Amino acid sequence: MNAIDLIITVCAVASPTTCEETHLVFSSAVSLRQCAMAAQPYIAQWIGEHPKWTAVKWRCEYPSNNQKASGEPVWSVV
């Protein structure tokens, strides 16, 4: 299985111009396009855990050495 980095751009609810990217790592045998299409439930879970933020866009990429991703894989698809 390959790691896929789900990169979510989130903006503060109280200040919509304050935005940042957060990274979630997925272990998956799916394509980047399939990752992006399947990401919504995981984005919703993250937003539920971080109610002061709202997701404005997301993308999937293969991780590189200069990117930081948060922790262990959050889902696995075979």
Q: Is the pLDDT at 73 greater than 50, yes or no?
A: no
pTM of the model: 0.74
Q: Which domain holds residue 27?
A: 2-64
pLDDT at position 61, please? Answer: 92
Starting at the earlier edge strand, list the strands of the sheet with 2-12. 53-61, 2-12, 19-28, 76-77
What percent of the chain lies above the pLDDT cut of 70?
81
Query: How many structural domains compose the chain?
Result: 1
Average pLDDT score over residue span 28-34: 83
Asked if residue 70 is part of any domain, the answer here is no
Q: Is the pLDDT at 58 greater than 90, yes or no?
A: yes
Asked if residue 25 is part of any domain, the answer here is yes
* Cα separation, 65 vs 63, whole angstroms: 7
Backbone angles phi, psi at 41, to 5 degrees: -65, -35
Beta 76-77 vs 19-28: how paired, if at all? parallel
Q: Is the pLDDT at 78 greater than 60, yes or no?
A: no
